[in-house]
Structure 1
Amino acid sequence: MEWYLIVLGCLLSGALIGFTGGVLGIGGGLLAIPLLGLVFGMPQQAAQGTALIMVLPAVLISVRKYNQYSKIDLRAAAAGAAGSIVFTWLGARFALGIDPTLLRRVYAVFILGIAIFYFFQSRPRNPNGRPASPPRSAADYHKGWFALVGVLAGTIGGVFGVGGSVVAVPFLTTFFRLPQTSAQALAMTTIIPGTFVALLTYSAHGQAHWSQGIPLAIGSICCVPYGVRLAYSMPEPRLKRIFAVMLLVIMFLLLAKA
């Protein structure tokens, strides 16, 4: 395939992924990984490392846009980031030693579990007419709790390249009772330092292809703001259902490659 066709395809794919990642608060890496595996035939580790090239600037842009709509609790995010950095590195080192096919299958099972959770979360609540529990904010909790969330998010993000925010968001909405958009914003802010660490680790082991990652990143950052704008205009249950359906699509793409 000619190089300019590859670049054009990556730009267009990155634009779609960036828009979707902005809506769902996932940075787009979950979509990029199966794409890189199916279209470019990359092993799972290389797909994860290359996706991180796109994810990092997309997450930075997304966090900026989310913060414009609603201020992010930076102290909570810093506590989460402190917990995630070392565990991201440990997770990445572990993933680099796993068989690529096995890693892809484990990743698919992980995605399935998250999708089922979000389908459950999107169901109508309070059938007996009881009032819903009021949403809370990060300021209501000790910052040490966010450090523990960061440890979990960092481990998952290191092993799978991306996905730390996908794990953190359900914890923040379920146990901390944060609104969906607030949880997405806080989770993405938390994973920024760990994403740097993961990218450096995968790149140092030759598992990040910059020729595909850079045009994906350029396309992504152009459309992230529009996705974030749409996220704030949608009802929360609908946003969760879309998230769950998208995760199921990703799972089937991963299993098709495996």
Structure 2
Amino acid sequence: MLLTDVLINIGLGLCLGTIGGLFGIGGGLVAIPMLGLLFGLDQHLAQGTALVMVVPNVMLALWRYNQRNRINWRWAGVLALAGFCWALVGANVAANLSNEVMRYLFVGFLLALVLYNGWRLYRPSPAELGAQPAPSARQLALLGTFSGIAGGLFGVGGAVIATPVLTSVFGLSQVVAQGLSLAMALPSTGVTLATFAAHGQVDWGMGLALSCGGLLSISWGVRIAHALPDKLLRSLFCGFLLACSVGLLLQ
């Protein structure tokens, strides 16, 4: 890889790391369509390469979120265990699907998230609805299951599912939900990366350069996330998902 390519990838990683810290997702959702559009990577290789950046980004973002809002590690443990087991299943299914099928499944997944998050913007806030029930272990395990399957299939860690459910169903604030989602995403992204690597679907040189940029900038995104109002952060998240969907459709 040429030095100019390395510098370009580090610069892209800086942008993706900021986005990952802002939304608590590690940057994979935006990295995947960008790697396809800008570098011509097929869907499998884009997902596997993005995970090289996502795993260390999630680790750093999790540490930063825990510094600002202490994570409930009992809840996080239930989410993480279920997410890990089902991410392994999802990743093995994804590795054996065609690139075209994977891309259209990914677009459908993003559009469903856009619709759900858009609906949440017009729904009464948890504060307006009154006290919300604390999640039970069974509910957290079920959420971890669905999030893990999505994370394994699409290489996104499952946080994009867990975060809106934790805020809308259980009334957690956006930043608290994002911290819990990161704790769940860490083991599931790790096992997904290992699965894609075992199938030769990772560009390690590009992924490591992206990772360097992401690690330098993810703390900026976390800082911005804690400075924004909840509703604005949710609106930005919805717009971000829509932009990703359009990017993949254009590919």
Q: Aligned pair in 2 of structure 1 residues 142, 251: CA closer, same or farther (>3 Å)?
A: same
User: What residue in structure 2 maps to residue 46 of structure 1?
Assistant: 45
Partners in 2 of 1:135 and 1:235 — Cα distance?
20
Amino acid at match of 2:145: V
Question: Is contact 2:62-2:183 (8 Å) kept?
Answer: yes
Deviates more, 1:111-120 or 1:86-95: 111-120
User: What residue in structure 1 maps to residue 56 of structure 2?
Assistant: 57
TM-score normalised according to structure 2 size: 0.95
Partners in 1 of 2:77 and 2:132 — Cα distance?
19
User: What residue in structure 2 maps to residue 66 of structure 1?
Assistant: 65
Please tell me whether residue 216 in structure 1 is matched to residue 210 in structure 2. Answer: yes
Please tell me whether residue 133 in structure 1 is matched to residue 132 in structure 2. Answer: no
User: What residue in structure 2 maps to residue 111 of structure 1?
Assistant: 110
Amino acid at match of 1:114: L
Partners in 1 of 2:22 and 2:226 — Cα distance?
8
Amino acid at match of 1:177: G
Question: Is contact 1:84-1:194 (8 Å) kept?
Answer: yes
Please tell me whether residue 198 in structure 1 is matched to residue 197 in structure 2. Answer: no
Q: CA deviation at 1:120?
A: 2.0
Q: CA deviation at 1:135?
A: 6.2
Q: CA deviation at 1:124?
A: 6.9
User: What residue in structure 2 maps to residue 172 of structure 1?
Assistant: 166
Question: Is contact 1:135-1:179 (8 Å) kept?
Answer: no
Instruction: Give the paired residue count.
Output: 251
Partners in 2 of 1:163 and 1:191 — Cα distance?
5
Please tell me whether residue 37 in structure 1 is matched to residue 36 in structure 2. Answer: yes
Q: CA deviation at 1:105?
A: 1.3
TM-score normalised according to structure 1 size: 0.93
Question: Is contact 1:135-1:178 (8 Å) kept?
Answer: no
The runs of 5 or more residues in structure 2 that have no matched partner are none
User: What residue in structure 2 maps to residue 239 of structure 1?
Assistant: 233
User: What residue in structure 2 maps to residue 147 of structure 1?
Assistant: 141
Question: Is contact 2:132-2:169 (8 Å) kept?
Answer: no
The runs of 5 or more residues in structure 1 that have no matched partner are none
Q: CA deviation at 1:86?
A: 1.8
Q: CA deviation at 1:146?
A: 1.3
Secondary structure of 2:36's match? helix
Q: Aligned pair in 2 of structure 1 residues 18, 70: CA closer, same or farther (>3 Å)?
A: same
Question: Is contact 1:91-1:158 (8 Å) kept?
Answer: yes
Secondary structure of 1:132's match? helix
Q: CA deviation at 1:21?
A: 1.1
User: What residue in structure 2 maps to residue 97 of structure 1?
Assistant: 96
Amino acid at match of 2:161: V
Partners in 1 of 2:36 and 2:79 — Cα distance?
30
Question: Is contact 1:53-1:213 (8 Å) kept?
Answer: yes
Q: CA deviation at 1:173?
A: 1.1
Computed over aligned residues only, the root mean square deviation of the Cα atoms, in angstroms, reads 1.7
Amino acid at match of 1:16: C
| Amino-acid identity (%) | 36
Q: CA deviation at 1:134?
A: 4.6
Question: Is contact 1:123-1:237 (8 Å) kept?
Answer: no
Q: CA deviation at 1:7?
A: 0.6
Question: Is contact 1:136-1:179 (8 Å) kept?
Answer: no
User: Cα deviation per residue 1:112-151 (whole Å; 9 max; x = unaligned)?
Assistant: 111122222223737xxxx7135658xx332232121111
